[in-house]
Amino acid sequence: MPQLKVTAAQMVAAARAKITEIDTSDAIAMTNDPNIVFVDLRDVRERERSGAIPGSFHCPRGMVEFWIDPDSPYFKDIFAQKDKQFVFHCASGWRSALTVATLHDMGFEAAHLKDGFSDWVKRDGPIDPCT
């Protein structure tokens, strides 16, 4: 296999250096805040297997740039809410770090759950089942 110019871990580190990261305990405290929108980037099978943050919006990682862009035919109105703070998450914080860095480059302000849903579960954050 050829040597990579940049590893996934290096990409995540670079992304984390330029985005807002939210610790799990702070995010858990935000669960009842009507101005926070948690956005779950995980695959639907991950959500079905382990549940989801209550009230979170599911946005598959492969569609996020298209769902955010108002000029895209796939745009989702939830992302037009200027008065909301969006907190993206995945299982471990890697996919969400890369996603939020990309969204930052697009001009969309958001944060991410630093240690992901796995840490949310470990710290007994509230979980809704997904079926």
Q: Tens of pLDDT along 71-119?
A: 999 999 999 999 999 999 999 999 999 999 999 999 999 999 999 999 9
Q: What burial letters (b/e) apply to 62-86, b meaning 16+ CB within 10 Å?
A: eebbebbbeeeeeebeebeeeeebb
**Residue 3 in domain:** no
In whole angstroms, give the CA distance from residue 127 to residue 88: 16
Confidence of residue 130 (pLDDT cuts 50, 70, 90): confident
pTM, full prediction = 0.95
Q: Tens of pLDDT along 1-12?
A: 789 999 999 999
Q: Which domain holds residue 92?
A: 8-122
User: CATH no. for residue 113?
Assistant: 3.40.250.10
